[in-house]
Chain A
């Protein structure tokens, strides 16, 4: 009966009306009625600015934090009833974890392997992240990127159905990044699910099957990267700045083929449908008010543009 139920399951993760409030004066509402569906076999990206409630949501789904209210199902099971069984099936890699310095790489993997009743051999996990040469090195001797790969290996050692990766490609050179994405792809071909919080937006756009954008404790957009870009209303972006005379947002918004206008830094960021129509219109306006064009670029819209449009912030505050 249990197996029949599980084979009908299409979501790896199902969240309904998740609420998490931290006590305080005033209380902090980290998650405010969040809904999420992560289909099985997908590479799912969870995006959101700092303080959006993204990390809190993930920790609740990973079983590391209790929800204030709401439903959470992981692989068709709930934490309240099936905690041990869920833990056998998931693997997580947390950015903030610092593994024991004095243990060797292989010893660390042996330790984690011993927790699971089923899994892969430590040597196999090392091969997946290309760390075989460092098997006998102590963790303290590894570089940042190598430690990152070890953390991913620890997440893979239980041969998980569902993998949570927190900024997995941070600090990795391009070769290692490619290898990691190959591992993720290979997991997907075997029907496994991967949910990650990407560090690099271009990776999220290229590699994730679906993404969800979280802000202010709720999912504000969800779909494949292409779907979200289309929803922007325009697949092209025009970025320009002027000097000498002021331009009003409303005026620009009224130009043909311009879908949205945003003031950014010293200029304007527009999403447009057809550059061939919008560009001449913008030039005309600039000339009409007697302003001087300082810069102008045009490109195709990216997930980053969607993100900034919806949240008003960039994924990483250092931008």
Chain B
């Protein structure tokens, strides 16, 4: 009974994968480990402690009065110091703000506007002084909203999914091809009637199946461990994942199409992946980078993937929001496949 070549080739890819325990760990285990470690490190915690220094060498009485007024906010950890000592502590980040009391009643703040903790300290001190003064304005009521969707882990998980898609496409396809070239297996296949397109399609199909399983696993883990929910359209999410998987498979194919050794292809892949790890908004938003590099960042396939995924998972969007990322990914797919097929070396 003769079996179809495409089916046999795809079957061979599955067998090679699940019979290699190390590969299974790196693909499934590693993103989980990253998610857990980073999710824990950056977990939501209420702001606990704000360091405040009050200068006390000149107007000691006023300093002590200030201390009393500020004591109403439990988060403020107040220290009295000389002017010189307080300035030094501000410079070395041991304190977040220096308050200089004066006889006239209007204090002076010293702080570094570039450090978030200083801005936070200034606002807390300001707020406390305002509310503890002679005629406090009407106090707004406070309701604490702590729902998932805006936490760091909600931001991180789509980034990890994107990274997984990238790594899988590049290493899954690229490494495999170079390994087969090194073993002279590609050359051996060339001597048979096997159609090159069957071979490439088998790589694509196996990639897509692996991707759906991997991502389902990551999403399930995100949901059960951290409560991360997909807020938007599931079909759009699947479309996004498949488009991204194909684009990265194409990129992997292009990188591997002529490489003769594992060392070469490893180097090329790291070269391709590193800018995307840093710039594409995996661990922090990509808009933190200056405006001049934004156009370059926006066309990277991983950026497009992450933005599309976040729009659906975090912002609850549907097909409408993913048109631009989809077009970028389709562009990469077409260019990579066209070039790769032209330059491909079987020997």
Q: How far is the CB of A302 from chain B (nearest CB, A)?
A: 33
**Is B12 in contact with A111, judged by CB distance below 8 angstroms?**
yes
Q: Does any Cβ of A come within 8 Å of B4's Cβ?
A: yes
Interface size class of B (residues with CB under 8 A): 20 to 34
| Across-interface contacts of B190 in A (CB, < 8 A) | 63-64
Known: A64-B191, A92-B191, A114-B8. A138 touches B19 (CB 8 A): yes
**Is A84 in contact with B193, judged by CB distance below 8 angstroms?**
yes
**Is B4 in contact with A114, judged by CB distance below 8 angstroms?**
yes
| Across-interface contacts of B2 in A (CB, < 8 A) | 113-114, 119
**Is B193 in contact with A97, judged by CB distance below 8 angstroms?**
no
Q: Does any Cβ of A come within 8 Å of B323's Cβ?
A: no
Stretch at the interface among B104-112, B132-140, B179-187, B312-320: B179-187
A residues contacting B by CB (< 8 A) are 62-65, 84, 87-88, 90, 92, 94, 96-100, 102-103, 107, 110-117, 119, 138, 154, 158
**Is B19 in contact with A96, judged by CB distance below 8 angstroms?**
no
Q: How distant is the Cα of A111 from the Cα of B5 in the complex, in angstroms?
A: 7
**Is B4 in contact with A63, judged by CB distance below 8 angstroms?**
no
Q: How far is the CB of A294 from chain B (nearest CB, A)?
A: 47
Q: Does any Cβ of A come within 8 Å of B192's Cβ?
A: yes
Q: How distant is the Cα of A117 from the Cα of B4 in the complex, in angstroms?
A: 10
The DSSP consensus for interface residues of chain A is: loop
Q: How distant is the Cα of A103 from the Cα of B9 in the complex, in angstroms?
A: 11
User: Nearest residue in B to A101 (C-beta to C-beta)?
Assistant: B16
Closest 4 CB pairs of A and B: A98-B183, A114-B8, A102-B19, A115-B194
**Is B12 in contact with A103, judged by CB distance below 8 angstroms?**
yes
Known: A87-B192, A158-B193; 13 extra A-B contacts, CB below 8 A, are A92-B188, A92-B191, A97-B185, A100-B16, A107-B15, A110-B8, A111-B8, A114-B4, A114-B5, A115-B189, A116-B192, A117-B193, A138-B19
| Across-interface contacts of B92 in A (CB, < 8 A) | none
Q: How distant is the Cα of A100 from the Cα of B17 in the complex, in angstroms?
A: 11
Chain B 8-36 interface 0/1 with A at a Cβ cutoff of 8 Å (1 = within): 11011001100110000000000000000
Q: Which of B2, B189, B191, B194 has the most CB of A within 10 A?
A: B191
**Is A94 in contact with B188, judged by CB distance below 8 angstroms?**
yes
Q: How distant is the Cα of A138 from the Cα of B12 in the complex, in angstroms?
A: 12
Contact of A115 among B16, B20, B192 (CB under 8 A): B192
**Is A110 in contact with B19, judged by CB distance below 8 angstroms?**
no
| Across-interface contacts of A63 in B (CB, < 8 A) | 190-191
A-B contact pairs, 6 of them (CB 8 A): A94-B188, A97-B187, A100-B185, A103-B16, A115-B194, A117-B193
